[in-house]
């Protein structure tokens, strides 16, 4: 890599605060010079992959000239509520709205507006990523979902346009069953990959596998203007509620 190319790939990182319902979301935005797209890491404290795994993937994406935005789908106050009850992490409507707000915020951010957005959803963020891709088709270029309850998003899966990679633990029969059902509903370019290891843990090489798969998928499928450039944003999509699941 030439010196000028190396300089372009070195990201500038800053903490940003994004307005949301009932507070603000704290996120870390890292952007190399002249980015070719933005990858959003959507997770909650219910996702148990270690932070260094996300950082490893982010570093690889920066080298490939992708900007990254890493954030938690909960505000700090909501994390305190969710930790003992686990109620908020199954509120798909809430998580989806948060991710849609993030996509809209990126569209107004200097240097990032108009770039294709890739969504990397872990745990409860996986189903939310697919809903957000349906609601914002012109802005979403690709989705990677590492989750076991994607069937929560069943009502909208057939309307997802963005190429979607679904990753699931091969050790969990229930996760495989629900994921296979969700995968069949998708009508977009798609791929299903099973990885060894416990659900969202750092057992063995699971993290390495997930990071490599996600990087390869985004590198191959991301486009400059999203997967459905000629499709209007689906503002009338009814986001599944917790009660409907």
Name the average pLDDT for the chain.
Answer: 80
**pLDDT (mean) for 151-165:** 94
Domain of residue 111 covers: 3-244
CA gap 193, 200 in Å, rounded: 14
| 41 beta partners | 70, 120
Q: Is the dihedral of CA 46, 49, 55, 58 positive or negative?
A: negative
Share of the chain above pLDDT 70, in %: 75
Say yes or no to pLDDT of 66 above 80. Answer: yes
Which pair of tokens denotes residue 9?
Answer: 């790939």
CA gap 216, 43 in Å, rounded: 20
CA nearest 66: which of 1, 142, 118? 118
- Please tell me the total count of domains within the chain: 1
Q: Which residue has the tokens 């969990």?
A: 172
CA nearest 164: which of 185, 145, 139, 138? 145
Q: What is the dihedral of CA 100, 38, 113, 123, to 10 degrees?
A: 10
CA gap 119, 150 in Å, rounded: 14
**pLDDT (mean) for 59-70:** 94
Please tell me the predicted confidence (pLDDT) of residue 148: 74
Q: What is the CATH number of the domain that holds 225?
A: 3.40.50.1820
- CB within 8 Å of 201: residues ≥ 6 apart: 48, 49
Say yes or no to pLDDT of 192 above 80. Answer: yes
CB atoms near residue 50 (< 10 Å): 11
Please tell me the predicted confidence (pLDDT) of residue 36: 92
Hey, is 101 helix, strand or coil?
helix
**pLDDT (mean) for 135-140:** 94
Contact indicator for 239, 93 with CB cutoff of 8 Å: yes
Say yes or no to pLDDT of 53 above 50. Answer: yes
């Amino acid at each position: 890599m030439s010196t000028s190319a190396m300089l372009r790939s070195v990201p500038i990182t800053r903490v940003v605060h994004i307005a949301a319902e009932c507070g603000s979301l704290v996120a870390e935005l890292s952007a190399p010079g002249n980015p070719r797209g933005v990858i959003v890491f959507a997770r909650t404290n219910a996702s148990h992959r270690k932070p260094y795994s996300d950082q490893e993937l982010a570093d690889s994406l920066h080298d490939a000239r992708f900007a990254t935005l890493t954030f938690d789908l909960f505000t700090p106050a909501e994390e305190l509520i969710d930790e003992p009850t686990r109620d908020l992490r199954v509120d798909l409507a809430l998580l989806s709205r948060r991710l849609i707000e993030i996509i809209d915020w990126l569209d107004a951010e200097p240097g990032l507006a108009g770039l294709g957005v890739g969504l990397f959803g872990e745990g409860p963020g996986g189903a939310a990523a697919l809903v957000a891709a349906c609601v914002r088709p012109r802005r979403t270029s690709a989705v990677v979902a590492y989750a076991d309850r994607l069937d929560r998003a069943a009502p909208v899966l057939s309307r997802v346009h963005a190429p979607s990679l679904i990753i699931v633990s091969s050790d969990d029969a229930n996760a495989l069953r629900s994921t296979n059902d969700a995968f069949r509903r998708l009508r977009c370019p798609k791929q299903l990959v099973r990885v060894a290891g416990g659900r969202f843990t750092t057992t063995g090489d699971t993290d390495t596998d997930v990071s490599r798969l996600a990087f390869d998928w985004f590198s191959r499928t991301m486009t400059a203007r999203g997967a459905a450039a000629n499709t209007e944003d689906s503002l009338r999509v009814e986001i599944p509620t917790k009660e409907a699941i």
